[in-house]
A = this chain, B = another copy of it.
Amino acid sequence: MPDPEKLSSTDTDTGQPLPPLAMFEGKLADRVHAALLEAILDLRYRPGARLRKTAICDALGVSRSPVSEALARLAAEALVDIVPQAGSFVARLSMEEIREGAFLREALELQAVEMVAATLTDEHLQALRRNLRLQALCLAEGDGPEFHRLDAELHGMILSFTGHRRAARIAASAWLHVDRARRLLLPRPGRMAAALEEHRMILAALEARDPTAARHAMRHHLGQLLSLIATLAEERPDLFT
């Protein structure tokens, strides 16, 4: 399964895409995990590439223990394939995983938005409105990356308003696969504006404290992405399993 693929000169990392050092916090293993996660998500480590523990070790200046733990965690998140006594590889994108991530995310967010619509406080509404104002600003200025950050933040806020931290973590983890694929999509013209409008529908339903409407609005919003990704699988089959 993890075949060498067309490897240009050296298979090893080109030296450049070093995941940034410890600009993270927490235990050493946490920081290594965060660094590798970032590198995998923005494709500095390409899908299918081999991960050399020793290279990672002296690139980050740590020993194998935290690296092993980080890789094990990434494997649990299905972002890395560990083949015992053979090697570790960045997982290829898989429509299977992406669909599953979307399923999980949808299940959690629909339940969350329904619950939140009934329990929302004014502070929560304030925060949501503020986020949407910033989104509008980004749209006006064409700041895609920041818009995306706010998008993720909005969804994260709704999940966290349920008070269930673990649920938010799981949703984030599930979304990783979808997000990794999404980053490969060229920005579609008009998509940002459409997303903002969909977000507004969700907020409107929450302001009305209408669980059913909130659920519908969220479902419509989440339904948009999968079809886009399906086209990617046809355009770039080399990135998929």
Decide if A166 is an interface residue (CB 8 Å cutoff): yes
- Check: A24 CB closer than 8 A to any chain B CB: no
Residues of B within 8 A of A164 (CB): 99-100, 103-104
Within the oligomer, what is the number of copies of this chain? 2
Say what secondary structure dominates the interface of chain A: helix
Q: Which residues of B contact A99 (CB under 8 A)?
A: 164
A108 to chain B minimum Cβ distance, whole angstroms, is 5
Closest B residue to A100 by beta carbon equals B164
Q: Is A167 an interface residue (CB 8 A)?
A: yes
* Contact pick for A78, options B100, B112, B166, CB 8 Å: B166
* Known A110-B107, A162-B103; contact A170-B167, beta-carbon cutoff 8 A: no
Please give me the 3 A-B residue pairs with the lowest Cβ-Cβ distance, nearest first: A107-B111, A100-B164, A107-B107
- Can you list 17 contacts pairing A with B, beta carbon distance less than 8 Å? A27-B84, A69-B72, A99-B164, A100-B167, A103-B111, A103-B115, A104-B108, A104-B164, A104-B166, A104-B167, A104-B170, A106-B111, A107-B167, A108-B108, A110-B111, A111-B111, A166-B174
